Chain A
Amino acid sequence: DAKTTQPPSMDCAEGRAANLPCNHSTISGNEYVYWYRQIHSQGPQYIIHGLKNNETNEMASLIITEDRKSSTLILPHATLRDTAVYYCIVRVDGTYKYIFGTGTRLKVLA
């Protein structure tokens, strides 16, 4: 089973920041948090990942709480093309596989 919990769906107005939460209360010290998204049935697209510190790249920011039990993916200026299913994944320590949950279906509204 996936080690993360996400809301099933969210809406966001175009141009506004989209904040997608994820709970991973059983995360252990060496386990990273990864975010991917999937548009229609395309291959999952890597967004960002982190261990303890907040991370930012050209696509998004990742905020990880100090206790590491939850995180938030931030898309700073959502566009219609950001409409997708967003997956928060904690890869089990010692393995390289991802266990996908059902993700959050983000709908960006014009």
Chain B
Amino acid sequence: EPEVTQTPSHQVTQMGQEVILRCVPISNHLYFYWYRQILGQKVEFLVSFYNNEISEKSEIFDDQFSVERPDGSNFTLKIRSTKLEDSAMYFCASSNLHLGAEAFFGQGTRLTVV
């Protein structure tokens, strides 16, 4: 069964460093997303991406964040200068375009900023 894969599963970084979280969406999907979940809190939408551009973004997704689809298979989330409060699980998801299409989530990357 096709699945969304994310790497690494756990990333530890020092405050102020840049991190790149990687995702391989399901191959025939065209819509891509990043969500995050701070420990013990809700899953929060960050950004959606279609046709090589951002479709929607939340207030969380400020100038420190960027997304990219560098090739035909990968979808990345970059955090330029990490803060302690960026520590969270980051989930990538993908979906088809048709009305009502469900999204499938990866298993997440646990980002720990120290």
Name the distance in Å between A15's Cβ and chain B's nearest Cβ: 26
A49 touches B105 (CB 8 A): no
Closest chain B residue, CB of each to CB of A95 = B56
Please classify the interface of chain A as helix (H, G, I), strand (E, B), loop, or mixed, using the class held by over half of its residues: loop
Q: A51, A97, A102 — which one has the most chain B CB atoms within 10 A of its CB? A: A97
Q: When the two chains form their complex, are residues B107 and A43 in contact, meaning their CB atoms are under 8 A apart?
A: yes
Q: Are A43 and B100 in contact (CB under 8 A)?
A: no
B75 interfacial contact with A, CB 8 Å:
no
Asked if B100 and A32 sit within 8 Å, CB to CB, the answer is yes
Contact across chains for A44 and B43 when beta carbons are under 8 A apart: yes
CB–CB A41/B37 < 8 A: yes
Given known contacts A96-B95, A97-B33, A101-B42, is B89 in contact with A41 (CB within 8 Å)?
yes
Q: Are B108 and A43 in contact (CB under 8 A)?
A: yes
B residues near A46, Cβ cutoff 8 Å = 102-105
Known contacts A100-B42, A102-B42; A30 and B99 CB within 8 A of each other: yes
Q: Is the CB of B104 within 8 A of A96?
A: no
Complex alpha-carbon distance, A96 and B33, angstroms: 9
A38 to B108, CA, bound (A): 12
Is residue B25 contacting chain A, with contact meaning CB distance below 8 A? no
The size of the chain B interface, using a CB distance under 8 A, is: 29
Cβ of B93 to closest chain A Cβ, rounded Å: 8
Interface residues of A in 66-110 (CB under 8 A from B): 87, 95-102
B56 touches A96 (CB 8 A): yes
- Whether A97 contacts B42 by the Cβ 8 Å rule is no
User: Which of B33, B44, B105: most chain A CB closer than 10 A?
Assistant: B105
Q: Are A43 and B105 in contact (CB under 8 A)?
A: yes
Cβ of A35 to closest chain B Cβ, rounded Å:
10
Q: How far is the CB of A62 from chain B (nearest CB, A)?
A: 12
The interface of chain B, by Cβ under 8 A from chain A, is 4, 31, 33, 35, 37, 39, 42-45, 48, 50, 55-56, 58, 89, 91, 93, 95, 99-100, 102-108, 110
Closest 7 CB pairs of A and B: A43-B105, A100-B43, A97-B45, A32-B100, A43-B107, A44-B105, A43-B91
A-B contact pairs, 27 of them (CB 8 A): A32-B100, A34-B102, A38-B43, A41-B37, A41-B89, A41-B108, A42-B107, A42-B108, A43-B106, A44-B43, A44-B91, A46-B102, A46-B104, A49-B102, A51-B100, A87-B43, A95-B48, A96-B31, A96-B95, A97-B56, A98-B45, A98-B103, A99-B45, A100-B43, A100-B44, A100-B45, A101-B42
